[in-house]
Amino acid sequence: MLSSSPAPHHRGAARRAGARRVLVLSASMGAGHDTVARELVRRARAQGHEADTVDLMRLLPYGTGSGLRAFYRTSVRHAPWVYDGLYRAFLRPGDHTRPSGVPLARLAADGLERLVARTGADLVVPVFHLAAQLTGHLRTLGRLRVPSVVFVLDFAVHRQWLHPGNDACLCLTDQAADDVRRVVPGTYAETTGPVVAPEFSAPAPAADDWRKRFERYAPGRSPVLLSAGSWGAAAGIGETARLLAGAGHLPVVLCGRNQALRSRTARLPGTLALDWVTDMPGLLHAVRALVDNAAGQTAVQALAAGLPVVGHRPLPGHGADGVRRMAELGFSEAADDGTTLLDVLDRLVTEGPAERERRAARGRAVFRADVLERAVALAGRSAVPSPGQE
C-alpha cells in the first residue's frame, strides 16, 4: 500500500537523533493530493526523516475506494450539478463541523492502525479531507497514538477537513486558518502556504523548448494555458479556447488523462491540445497566463512560477469557492464572463516587466513556511491524549 517498499521499520529501531517516521495520508482523487504527498515525502527524506505516503482509497475495503473515485470522476466530468449538490449538503463551509468521523472514512480505520503499527510511524500527515476525518476520529478514540497534523490544501476550507481530534491544521492562508479556529474552537491552526516542488520557483531551461513549440504552432500569438485538471474536467473549455483564439491568443489546453477531451479540443482551429504533461515547470514558465477553474495544485504551481492566474468557469463545489477566495485575497483575478476574461488577459500579457514582477511577488508571498518542518515541530510538542468519546 505504501508508495515505496522500504525495509520494515519499527519504533525503537536505530534512528538519527530527532528523526521522525512520517506517514503522509493522501488520496488518488485527481493528481493534486498525490502531488503534494510526494513533495512532502521528498522534503522529509531530504531533512533526514523517514517517510512514505499511502493512498486512503486503497485502505478502504471492498472496492469502496475505487467506486468513490469513479463516482467523483464521472460527476465532475459529466454531471457537475450532482457533485455541487453533495458539496452543498455535506461539505460547504458553515459554522459547525459534520458529525465526527465520517462513516466512509471509518471503514479505513483498521487498515490505518495496522499500517502505523507496521511502519512505526510517529507522525501522520493527512492531505485529503476524508483522511483528516479518519485520523481525527482515531485520535479521539485513542486508537491512533501518534500525532496527526492536517495539511489543508484548499483556499476555502470546507467542513470535512475539520475534526477536533486532530492535533493541528496547517493552512494556505491566514483567512483559512481563521476559518478553522472559528468552526472548531480550540484547534491549533497555522499558516504555511502551499506545497510545490522547488523546480517551479527556479529557472526552467526547458521553457525555451516550449516557447519554440508555441511559435512554430502559432507565430506571434501569446500562449495562454487552460487547465482542466488531471481528469480533464472543465465546463465550456472548448468555448473558452475558441474565444481566446479569436482574440489573437494561443490557447494551450491541459487535457489531463481525458483523451476524449483532447480529441475534441485538437479539432479547434488555433488551439494546442496537450495530454499528460510531465514538464509542468517548463510549461508554466513558457506561457503568459493560466486560466484556472479549481484553485488547486496547478494554480499554486503557477504562483510559484510567477505566472498570472485568472479564475474562469470554475468547477462547482469547492472549486468555485476556492477560485472566489483566491481572487478575493489578491492571488488571482476573477473573470465571470468572456468579455472580462479577454480584458484581463489583454492587460496581463501586455504588462511591463516591473509590473509583472510586482504581481509575481504578490503571488509568491503565499508561500510562508515549510509544511513538513512545521508538521514535525508541532508533532514534537503534541501530547498523546487519553482515549475519549465522540
Do 126 and 216 lie in one domain? The reply is no
Q: Give the pLDDT confidence of 302-315 residue by residue, as tens digits.
A: 999 999 999 999 88
| Three cell numbers, residue 65 | 475506494
Q: In the prediction, which pLDDT does 384 show?
A: 42
Report the distance separating Cα 250 and Cα 46, nearest Å: 39
Any domain includes 6: no
Query: How many helices (H) does the chain have, and how many strands (E)?
Result: 17, 12
| Three cell numbers, residue 213 | 513549440
Within 10 A of 182 (CB to CB), how many other CB atoms are there? 13
Report the distance separating Cα 235 and Cα 230, nearest Å: 14
Q: Give the pLDDT confidence of 208-238 residue by residue, as tens digits.
A: 999 999 999 999 999 999 998 766 667 789 9
Strands (E), 16-175: 21-26, 50-55, 123-126, 149-151, 168-171
pLDDT at 333 over 90: yes
Do 184 and 217 lie in one domain? The reply is no
pLDDT at 52 over 90: yes
Any domain includes 135: yes
Q: Give the pLDDT confidence of 264-300 residue by residue, as tens digits.
A: 999 999 999 998 899 999 999 999 999 999 899 999 9
| Three cell numbers, residue 380 | 514534537
Query: How many structural domains is the chain composed of?
Result: 2
Computed on alpha carbons and rounded to an integer, the radius of gyration of the chain in Å comes to 21
Any domain includes 10: no
DSSP state of 163: -
Share of the chain above pLDDT 70, in %: 82
Report the distance separating Cα 249 and Cα 223, nearest Å: 6
Any domain includes 9: no
Do 37 and 174 lie in one domain? The reply is yes
DSSP state of 200: G
Range of the domain at 237: 198-364
Sign of CA dihedral 357, 360, 366, 367: negative
Do 234 and 168 lie in one domain? The reply is no
Q: Give the pLDDT confidence of 110-162 residue by residue, as tens digits.
A: 999 999 999 999 999 999 999 999 999 999 999 999 999 999 999 999 888 99
* Lowest-confidence pick of 160-164, 332-336, 381-385: 381-385
Any domain includes 34: yes
| Three cell numbers, residue 128 | 485529503
Q: Give the pLDDT confidence of 148-207 residue by residue, as tens digits.
A: 999 999 999 988 899 999 999 999 999 999 999 999 999 999 999 999 999 999 999 999
Any domain includes 386: no
Any domain includes 15: no
Do 180 and 302 lie in one domain? The reply is no
Any domain includes 2: no
CATH number at residue 261: 3.40.50.2000
Do 352 and 204 lie in one domain? The reply is yes
Report the distance separating Cα 105 and Cα 234, nearest Å: 28
pTM attached to this predicted model: 0.88
Do 315 and 373 lie in one domain? The reply is no
